[in-house]
């Protein structure tokens, strides 16, 4: 997947080996908003906290996923942003593989 920035989330921190700090900060803000929205929806529907979330705009796709242990901010997770509209399953698979490595 071209132009994919990968983010590693653990213990309340978000880091990236491929993106500069401004991109990390933008992802962190989008991630917090998306995760908060998912948590509110999960609570209202009695489903619990989200293990993944995504949104697509006309020029980019953002996703986060907690592929293994849990869904709290302290648990390890992965995130990604790509500057195009990509199939969500393809991005989920890419982030899940990245988490396994």
Closest CA to 95 of 82, 84, 85: 82
Alpha carbon of residue 41 to chain centroid: 17
Mean pLDDT of 58-80: 85
Report how many domains make up the chain: 1
pLDDT reported for residue 28: 93
Q: pLDDT for 75-98, tens place per residue? A: 888 999 998 888 889 999 989 888
Mean pLDDT of 44-52: 91
- By residue range, what is the domain housing residue 45? 4-100
Q: Under 8 Å CB-to-CB from 23, ≥6 apart: which residues? A: 5, 16, 81
Domain CATH number, residue 66: 3.30.450.30
- Continuous segment of H or E residues that includes residue 40: helix 21-44
With 0.75 as the threshold, say if the pTM is over it.
yes
């Amino acid at each position: 997947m071209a132009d994919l920035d990968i983010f590693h989330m653990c213990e309340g921190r978000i880091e990236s080996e491929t993106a500069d700090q401004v991109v990390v900060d933008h992802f962190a803000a989008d991630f917090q908003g998306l995760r908060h929205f998912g948590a509110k929806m999960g609570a209202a529907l009695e489903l619990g906290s989200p293990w993944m979330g995504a949104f697509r705009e006309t020029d980019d796709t953002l996703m986060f996923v907690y592929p293994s242990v849990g869904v709290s901010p302290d648990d390890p997770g992965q995130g990604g942003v790509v500057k195009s509209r990509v199939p969500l399953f393809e991005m989920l698979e890419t982030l899940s593989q990245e988490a396994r490595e």
